[in-house]
Amino acid sequence: MSGSVQSRRSSIDVLIRVRPLRAELQEMKSAWDISASTLREKGNPDSLFTFDHVYGTDTTTQTLYERSVRNSIVTNVVKGYNGTVIAYGQTGSGKSYTMLGGSVSGDYSSPDGIVTLAVRDLFSDIEQEQQRNPSMRVTVYVTMVEIYNEQLRDLLAPPGAATLPLLIRENEHGVYVHNAIKRQVASARECVKVVHAHAAARVSASTAMNEMSSRSHCVVRILVERIVPLEDVSDFFSMSSEEEGENGDGMRRKIVAALNLVDLAGSERVAKTGSTGVRMVEGGHINKSLTILTTVISRLTEMSGSGNGSSGATPTFVPYRDSRLTHLLKTAIGGNSLTAVFCCITPAVQHVDESRSTLQFAARAKAIKNKVSVNEVADSKTKLRMMEVEIRRQKRMMLATTIYLWSKNLRIKHLQEKLDELCHLGAADPAAAAAAGASGGGPYALRTTPKEQQRVIIEELTRQNGVLQQELAEARGALERQLGPENKTLAGTQVTAAVAMALLMTVRSNSCVQMCVI
């Protein structure tokens, strides 16, 4: 990461959503006792799961979004942090409904999903930010990729059009899909329209457990690029108006954040879905990628020390690259992202095993901590200007240090002149030297002979001279440490010039002291 890299630890926020029983699927009885923070399996008192939030069957998507996504993720994306919302669970548990609302089944009259709600608030926050800072420029892009049978597919690509191969790449800001189409969107309405229109292109099919079962993982990524002019680096070290005019319109601060909205395909059992042929192959790829995701979660939990109760577990290899899904989610899980995972379950008795497995996954995931920071990108022009500002700052510091050293040199010179005067006076008239020393009071007045008084004066002046030389050396060392190795050449000439006079005075002082003592 470049630029502002102040970071903090953030736990993955794991939330449970329980969908209502569906009579058309012969779901007549619930297997769970549900409260605001716990789920207990009926007839199995040892099977108790505790979470920060458990959203029951009567909770709307709007409510869970406001409580768990709006302020913790969407608001921070506008500030420059990555954010991720993931829907996880078995097939038919309500993941796509949670993320996309009724549009996934063509019912646009039903409540909006998290994608629509997040996009609206994102653009609203951007508009408010621009009102506070009119000089800021914001550009929003959207990409949509699905992972079908472990292959990447660009949902924004025109049907039948030749496209470049999609590749998962990493840079200092995280993981991204190389060659994926980035479509610029100017409003929340346009962005939502793009997402809903192309979400319909996902591979889906009807199974015994879900009439509209997604056969792929879908990742909607909304990129927010902010460019903010740097009007003033600091009051003291800012550029002058002339310096500003020399290089155009000044420096810019570029911040790029991503909001990832992930709708995972659901795990399924062949015996329950009745899948055969192509559907069975699809289910195999889905289950494999979700199994690897579970492994990644388990390894990260072990690394955090939660797996064995210790706080310093041995580093463990995390197999992110074992599947396209986990590789693409590397930033979201254990990386630089504020992440919320909605684990969706059905309370029906016939699905108790799948629901228990989902809750076990959720219990492990909540122990993971991400390290999040603002994603700031400095372009070459800004980097150059910042270096120029830093050089000017260092020059000012060297000037201040030179003035300080000059004042020390004046004091050394004054002591040297006094020492020279006493040396000459002592050689020409010992009695006058004694009187001069005695008139100074202090330790000199206690000496009875002129020679003894002269010796004490010379010792005191020599001591003061040594103290000043030590201060001079410390000041020079502090300046060189502050400049750092990259600026030592720049510092060398100016610091050496400032110190040379002091060193010359030291040599003269020492020579005179030795001559007087002899």
Nearest one of 224, 254, 229 to 376, comparing CA atoms: 254
H/E run at residue 395: helix 380-428
Q: What is the pLDDT of residue 493?
A: 47
Question: Is 289 a known ligand-binding residue?
Answer: no
Q: Please list the residues that pair with 227 across neighbouring strands.
A: 137, 254
* CB of 166 closer than 8 Å to CB of 178: yes
Contacting residues for 516 by C-beta, under 8 A, at least 6 apart = 419, 422, 423, 426, 454, 458
Q: pLDDT truncated to tens, each residue of the chain (518 aa)?
A: 333 345 677 889 999 999 999 887 778 899 999 999 999 999 888 889 999 899 999 999 999 999 999 999 999 999 999 999 999 999 889 999 999 987 655 555 678 999 999 999 999 999 999 999 999 999 999 999 999 999 999 999 998 888 899 999 998 778 999 999 999 999 999 999 999 999 888 866 555 455 555 778 999 999 999 988 876 444 333 444 444 444 445 567 889 999 999 999 987 665 565 556 777 888 788 889 999 999 999 999 888 764 444 444 456 799 999 999 999 999 999 999 999 999 999 999 999 999 999 999 999 999 998 989 888 776 666 667 777 777 888 888 887 887 777 777 787 887 777 777 777 766 666 665 555 555 554 444 444 455 665 666 667 667 777 777 777 777 677 666 665 555 554 444 444 444 444 444 444 444 444 444 33
Cα distances (Å, whole numbers) of residue 14 to 302, 360, 390, 448, 480: 17, 12, 44, 88, 50
Question: Is 95 a known ligand-binding residue?
Answer: yes
Domains of the chain: 7-86+93-378 (3.40.850.10), 386-517 (no CATH)
Q: What is the pLDDT of residue 11?
A: 87
Q: What are phi and psi of 334, to 5 degrees?
A: 90, 5
**Strand pairing class (53-55; 83-89):** unpaired
Cα distances (Å, whole numbers) of residue 448 to 84, 321, 458: 87, 90, 16
* CB of 339 closer than 8 Å to CB of 84: yes
Residue 479 burial (CB < 10 Å; 0-12/13-18/19+)?
buried
Q: What is the pLDDT of residue 304?
A: 74
Q: What is the pLDDT of residue 474?
A: 74
Contacting residues for 508 by C-beta, under 8 A, at least 6 apart = 416
Question: Is 309 a known ligand-binding residue?
Answer: no
Distance CA 205, CA 216 (A): 10
CB atoms within 10 A of CB 70: 17
* CB of 146 closer than 8 Å to CB of 104: no
CA angle, residues 216, 220, 222, in degrees to nearest 5: 170
Q: What is the pLDDT of residue 85?
A: 98
Contacting residues for 346 by C-beta, under 8 A, at least 6 apart = 18, 19, 21, 22, 27, 90, 92, 93, 94, 354, 355
Question: Is 94 a known ligand-binding residue?
Answer: yes
Q: What are phi and psi of 420, to 5 degrees?
A: -60, -40
Q: What are phi and psi of 172, to 5 degrees?
A: -65, -15
* CB of 113 closer than 8 Å to CB of 61: yes
Distance CA 350, CA 440 (A): 104
* CB of 380 closer than 8 Å to CB of 5: no
Q: What is the pLDDT of residue 498?
A: 47
Q: What is the pLDDT of residue 314?
A: 56
Question: Is 90 a known ligand-binding residue?
Answer: yes
Question: Is 275 a known ligand-binding residue?
Answer: no
Q: Which amino acid is at 224?
A: V
Question: Is 89 a known ligand-binding residue?
Answer: yes
Nearest one of 73, 79, 64 to 10, comparing CA atoms: 73
Q: What is the pLDDT of residue 506?
A: 45
Question: Is 254 a known ligand-binding residue?
Answer: no
